[in-house]
């Protein structure tokens, strides 16, 4: 352990009486708060000098790994670079000091931005109207399914309580359907990783009239474009269901093709994936939902509308809202800055470059890593572990070893279709030099697995903390400092 203050709590540096700063003598006399408003005992706060505090938190922040530290090819997450200008825009006090209930005369600029972003998402997706209210992709799914449920209810078609979800879907799809009170019917994938249309047809023979919607992710969780969408869309609509598009993987389609043109009725977009904004660890996010013409009335309130030259908030007190209010404005701001920075022409390069980068890595590594579905992918692809299974080195080991070489691990053990899944998504932002050094390191690890497997199995060796016991941490979490002190007795 070096002399950095790794891994400790600020409370461990406390010295009674030590202070980070002291206030000058006040000119006004001292007055005690009323006794009823005071604590009986002083709060237990750390007492440290300023430099200790600064070093402690700076060192902790440097233990974090983000896109600004290095390559972060986390499949399914689109960990793209968040340009600095986005942060500058989001930090402007004219935006960051807004109150959601302030008079609309005083925030026309913010409402205009909100409205313009709704229009831009419509143009990019081919859907008629958007709500920016939901706070995450999963929240967008729930909102979208509630819209679909309202649509069927309004037509008096109340027996439609089932949602079709492919077995390759992100876990949030069935979870959102369940939270919405809908039942889930799973449809299988073919060996090529696409929705099995024959299985779907069989399902519809008995369930057709109970189907509220089919949820599809495109490109799907294996990074593959669902080529049967026209046929699927046709048979679902024929039986009276709606088509829901999980647009979390919208990145490779940006400026190239539009879910609205493919016949989808409702979709969500993850602003925090496709339109930058750093995310992870549960936030921050934004999951706008778009609907085709004819479904606008089911969108949640409040809504931002344009009347003449003015922007208005509609439906603030209607009570129909699904509770999302105005959503995560700072994430919208970043998305808006990002779209304007790229502009109409450059945004068309995002999808093709993300696709090129993913295919470049896939083709460069498939001699050492098992590629179960060997086709051209979109923005991401999935290996099923090392090709040479005799070494005993698992996907987990490879992921840990990557940390030693300064790369964040790809997504592992997801999707669930393969035992040793290792899912890589480089995004369009990376240079060929970064892609090449990642490819090189992956080849080195494959060689180590053959020649000195223990080095890989015991990795990571260069990180502040080695392998953690995930199961112990989940089953016996230690959540308080005092307990921590009791457990290992050193503190």
Ligand X SMILES: *Cc1c(COP(=O)(O)O)cnc(C)c1O
Binding site for ligand X (CB under 6 A): 76, 136-138, 170, 172, 217, 221, 246, 248-249, 270, 285, 287
Chain residue whose CB lies nearest ligand X: 137
**Closest approach of ligand X to the CB of residue 90, in Å:** 18
Tokens 């009986």 appear where? 40
* Shortest reach from residue 359's CB to ligand X, in Å: 19
Backbone φ and ψ of 449, nearest 5° = -60, -35
Residue of 336, 339, 452, 360 lying closest to 89 (CA atoms) = 336
Tell how far CA 213 is from the center of its chain.
23
Q: Output 172 or 301, the one with its CB closest to ligand X.
A: 172
In angstroms, what is the minimal distance from the CB of 249 to ligand X? Answer: 5
In whole angstroms, give the CA distance from residue 250 to residue 257.
10
Cβ proximity of 241 and 214 under 8 Å: yes
Q: Of the two residues 170 and 362, which places its CB atom closer to ligand X in the complex? A: 170
Residue 109 vs 171, nearer CB to ligand X: 171
Pick from 64, 456, 446, 23: nearest CA to 278: 64
Closest to ligand X by CB, 50 vs 186, is 186
Minimum CB–partner distance for residue 332 and ligand X (Å): 14
Least distance in Å: CB of 12 to ligand X?
35
Contacts from 302-306 at CB under 8 Å and sequence distance 24+?
302/133, 302/326, 303/131, 304/111, 304/114, 304/115, 304/118, 304/132, 305/115, 306/115
C-beta of 113 vs 248, nearer to ligand X:
248
CB 68, min distance to ligand X, A: 20
* Whether 348 contacts 256, CB under 8 Å: yes
The residue (of 10 and 179) whose beta carbon lies closer to ligand X is 179
Backbone angles phi, psi at 277, to 5 degrees: 65, 115
- Nearest Cα neighbor of 212 from 264, 173, 174, 160 is 160
Rounded least distance, CB 399 to ligand X, Å: 18
For residue 392, the minimal CB distance to ligand X (Å) is 31
Give me the residue label for tokens 């602003």.
Answer: 271
Q: How many CA atoms lie within 13 A of 456 on its CB side?
A: 24
- Smallest gap from residue 380 Cβ to ligand X (A): 9
Task: Name the residue nearer to ligand X (CB basis): 86 or 274.
Answer: 274
Q: How far apart are the first and last CA of the chain?
A: 17
Cβ-based nearer residue to ligand X, 134 or 397:
134
- For residues 335 and 349, give the distance between their C-alpha atoms in angstroms, rounded to a whole number: 17
Contact, 98 vs 90, CB < 8 A?
Answer: no
When the beta carbons of 136 and 377 are compared against ligand X, the nearer one is 136
Q: Which one-letter DSSP state was computed for residue 26?
A: P
């Amino acid at each position: 352990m070096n002399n950095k203050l790794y891994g400790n709590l600020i409370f461990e540096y406390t010295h009674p009486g030590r202070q980070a700063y002291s206030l000058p003598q006040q000119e006004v006399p001292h007055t005690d708060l009323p006794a009823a408003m005071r604590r009986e005992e002083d709060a237990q706060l750390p007492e440290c000098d300023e430099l200790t505090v600064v070093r402690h938190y700076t060192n902790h922040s440097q233990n974090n790994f983000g896109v600004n530290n290095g390559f972060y090819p986390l499949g399914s997450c689109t960990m793209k670079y968040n340009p600095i200008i986005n942060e500058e825009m989001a930090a402007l006090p004219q935006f960051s000091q807004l109150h959601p209930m302030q008079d609309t005369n005083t925030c026309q600029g913010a409402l205009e931005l909100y409205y313009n972003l709704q229009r831009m998402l419509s143009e990019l997706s081919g859907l008629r109207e958007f709500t920016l209210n939901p706070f995450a992709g999963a929240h967008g799914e729930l909102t979208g399914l509630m819209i679909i449920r309202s649509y069927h209810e309004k037509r008096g078609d109340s027996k439609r309580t089932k949602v079709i979800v492919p077995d390759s879907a992100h876990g949030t799809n069935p979870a959102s359907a369940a939270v919405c009170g809908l039942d889930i019917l799973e449809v299988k994938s073919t060996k090529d990783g696409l929705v099995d249309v024959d299985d779907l047809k069989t399902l519809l023979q008995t369930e057709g009239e109970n189907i509220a919607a089919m949820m599809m992710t495109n490109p799907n969780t294996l990074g593959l474009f669902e080529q049967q969408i026209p046929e699927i869309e046709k048979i679902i609509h024929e039986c009276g269901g709606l088509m829901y598009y999980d647009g979390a993987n919208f990145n490779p389609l940006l400026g190239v093709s539009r879910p609205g043109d493919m016949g989808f009725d409702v979709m969500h977009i993850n602003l925090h994936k496709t339109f930058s904004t750093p995310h992870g660890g549960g936030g921050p996010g934004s999951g706008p939902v778009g609907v085709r013409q004819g479904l606008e009335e089911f969108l949640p309130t409040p809504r931002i509308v344009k009347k003449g030259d003015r922007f208005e908030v509609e439906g603030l007190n209607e009570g129909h809202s699904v509770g999302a209010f105005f959503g995560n404005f700072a994430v919208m701001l970043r998305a808006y800055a990002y779209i304007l920075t790229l502009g109409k022409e450059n945004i068309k390069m995002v999808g093709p470059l993300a696709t090129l980068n993913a295919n470049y890595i896939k083709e460069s590594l498939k001699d050492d890593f098992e590629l179960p579905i060997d086709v051209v992918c979109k923005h991401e692809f999935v290996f099923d572990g090392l090709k040479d299974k005799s070494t005993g080195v698992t996907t987990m080991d490879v992921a840990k070893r990557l940390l030693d070489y300064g790369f964040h691990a790809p997504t592992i053990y997801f999707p669930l279709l393969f035992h040793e899944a290792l899912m890589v998504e480089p995004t369009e932002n990376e240079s060929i030099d970064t892609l090449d050094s990642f490819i090189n390191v992956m080849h080195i690890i494959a060689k180590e697995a053959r020649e000195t497997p223990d080095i890989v199995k015991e990795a990571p060796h260069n990180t502040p903390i080695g392998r953690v016991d995930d199961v112990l941490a989940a089953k016996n979490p230690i959540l308080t400092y005092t307990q921590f002190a009791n457990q290992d007795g050193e503190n």
